[in-house]
Amino acid sequence: MVDLMSLEPSLIKTDQELPGARQSNAMEPADDIVAFGATSIGEIEKLMEELRVARDYLRSEGERVKSINARYAHLTRTASDSVKIIAESMGKWRVPEMEPEPRRSDSIRRIGPQ
């Protein structure tokens, strides 16, 4: 293993302050690396948990939206079918205005002498 202190002692600072206001008491540079790594791992795990919560929330919202859309589609189909039934029923009651009325002159001729 390579001794980092022997390579360039001015690059390695063992008295550097760690994040979270903890002072390093490490005698070897590897201890500082482990301390920094532990802090980073904790932050990453916290972030991963927040992402899991967000994922679960988005999944449940997706299911809720799908359910609402399915109900809306069913309501739309039902309303459309109802309108068709009503229109067909009303069509049977209605007398079309465009039908020609029988001519009186034609009826008179039939009644008269032939």
Length of the chain (residues): 114
Encode pLDDT of 16-66 as tens digits. Answer: 555 554 555 556 777 777 777 888 899 999 999 999 999 999 999 999 999
80: tokens are 């459309």
Encode pLDDT of 58-99 as tens digits. Answer: 999 999 999 999 999 999 999 999 999 999 888 887 766 666
- Judge whether residue 107 has pLDDT over 70: no
Reference 16, options 37, 39, 38, 33; nearest CA is 33
CA 112, CA 68: separation in Å to the nearest integer? Answer: 72
Q: How far, CA to CA in Å, does 18 sit from each of 12, 24, 29, 32, 60?
A: 14, 6, 13, 8, 40
